[in-house]
Amino acid sequence: MRKLGFVVVLLGLLIFSLSCDNPTESRSNPYEQQPIDWPSLADSPWPMYRHDPQNTGRSPNYGALTGMIVNKIASHESQAGVVIGKDSTLFFYNMISGIDYLQATDFEGNIKWSKRVHREPSTTPVVLYDGSIVAIGLENGEFIRLTSDGDTLWQCFIDTDHDLWAANCGISVGLDTPIYYVTSDCHRLVAISSNGNLKWSINDNRIYTNYTNIPVFSPDGKTLYLSGDNGVALVAVNINTQSISWTYGNEPLECAPMVDNEGNIFIYNAGGYSSSDEGDFAFVCLKSDGSLRWKFPMGEKYTYELNPAIDWEGNVYFGTDTLFSFTNDGKFRWELPGQSQSIECALTIDGNNNIYGFRNDRYLVGFCVNKAGNVVWEMNTTEFTRLGGSPIIVFNSILVPGWRSEWIYIIH
């Protein structure tokens, strides 16, 4: 009997050990988010607009803890965001003596190199796996790929009807390194190969030709989600068949969608930021097949470029004059109303699940809120600026680019 009891104890310990080692059984939060492996992107703190092809606005690094401006880097007339290379080089557009450049600097703003471009675009570059940078060089349709030292690898020209490059706030990249972009003149999605050739394109008037329309990927890299127009809010494109799989909604989508690890899509399902626009406005979560997962009616709100964000626990944040937080499956968590929390740019989240928002005022105004909805800091400076591309998180700081102003602000 003593031997039998000993065996029973051993079996019990073994079962307990196996249950503890099983991540599925021990996982208390089924919506916990993990970084999605994307081998075509640089292994850097912030390689593209909104950090990743799912448009999460989320970084594994810690952000700013005090809300104090500690430095600023010159970025005259810049209209786009900032990205970071593998060696922590910052890449952004700048105007020097009336000439536009794509510029590489260190974190202190010291210039490493500059590449002249014909006109400073509104599109944030992307840094690829080998440290090379893809950017827009000319307003007549030139894409360029540069080495990390600024040497040209290739040029690709896309036919355009007129010189307008405000259709995308960022360039996206597929798993096997093709470049995706929505042109601003003819409702067209283009795919450019890694060696600089046009692979294919889709022309469809349901694709929104607007600055906010960045292509957003599903986690498996097989579907692109685009902002919709002309009777739809969202367009899902099958990469393999190069065709539209499904659409959702009936109002133009004026800020890009966001996708979580499970492939759920989060959008504002109605456009309209002018008083004359009307629609059944709501924040919506869709399943990967386009069916409705949950919906939160909001009334009519200003939504232009107000990209939502998702934290590492899977909680979702969105808003305009009020910051809302919901669980991944649509349960209300909290709201933070008030003018001081008004949001007028894409939300950003750090590795501690702190949420950062900024708004246009006469001066640079921003805030940091923790995941519980408590204000960590608020800033209201005498620095005049208009908001540019999405803020980025790096080196325990948040960088806020201005739009046609003078500076990129570094906030600790």
* Poorest-pLDDT segment among 149-158, 202-211, 278-287, 365-374: 278-287
What CATH number does domain 42-411 carry, 2.130.10.10, 3.40.50.2300, 3.40.50.720, 3.40.50.300? 2.130.10.10
- Cβ–Cβ under 8 Å, residues 163 and 187: no
Neighbours of 297 (CB within 10 A): 9
What does the pLDDT read at residue 270? 57
Q: Which sequence spans correspond to the domains of the chain?
A: 42-411
Q: How many residues does the chain have?
A: 412
Return the closest-CA partner of residue 284 out of 266, 305, 299, 310: 266
Q: What is the mean pLDDT of the chain?
A: 84
Q: Which residue has the tokens 């065709």?
A: 243
Please write the tens of the pLDDT for every residue from 123-152.
899 999 999 999 987 666 788 999 999 999
Provide the β-strand partners of residue 295.
284
Please write the tens of the pLDDT for every residue from 169-218.
788 999 999 999 888 767 889 999 999 999 999 999 999 876 667 899 99
- Rounded to two decimals, the pTM is 0.89
Q: Which residue has the tokens 């008037």?
A: 205
Region for 59 from its dihedrals, namely left if φ exceeds 0, alpha if ψ lies in -120 to 50, beta otherwise = beta
Return the closest-CA partner of residue 56 out of 250, 266, 253: 266
CA distance 69 to 47: 23
* % pLDDT > 70, the chain: 83
What does the pLDDT read at residue 234? 93
Secondary structure E strands in 117-242: 126-127, 133-138, 142-146, 152-157, 172-173, 179-182, 188-192, 198-203, 216-217, 223-227, 234-238
- Cβ–Cβ under 8 Å, residues 264 and 293: yes
Element (H, E) at 7: helix 2-21
What does the pLDDT read at residue 19? 42
The half-sphere exposure of 155 on its side-chain side, counting CA atoms within 13 A, is 9
In SS3 terms, 84-150 reads as: ECCCCCEEEEEEECCEEEEEEECCCCCEEEEEECCCCCCCECEEECCCCEEEEEECCCEEEEECCCC
Tell me what the mean pLDDT of segment 370-387 comes to: 88
CA distance 405 to 384: 8
Strand 364-369 and strand 355-360: the pairing is antiparallel
What does the pLDDT read at residue 111? 95
CA distance 233 to 229: 6
Confidence of residue 353 (pLDDT cuts 50, 70, 90): very high
What does the pLDDT read at residue 128? 98
What does the pLDDT read at residue 279? 53
CA 241 to chain centre: 25
- Cβ–Cβ under 8 Å, residues 44 and 52: no
CA distance 175 to 161: 30
What does the pLDDT read at residue 106? 95
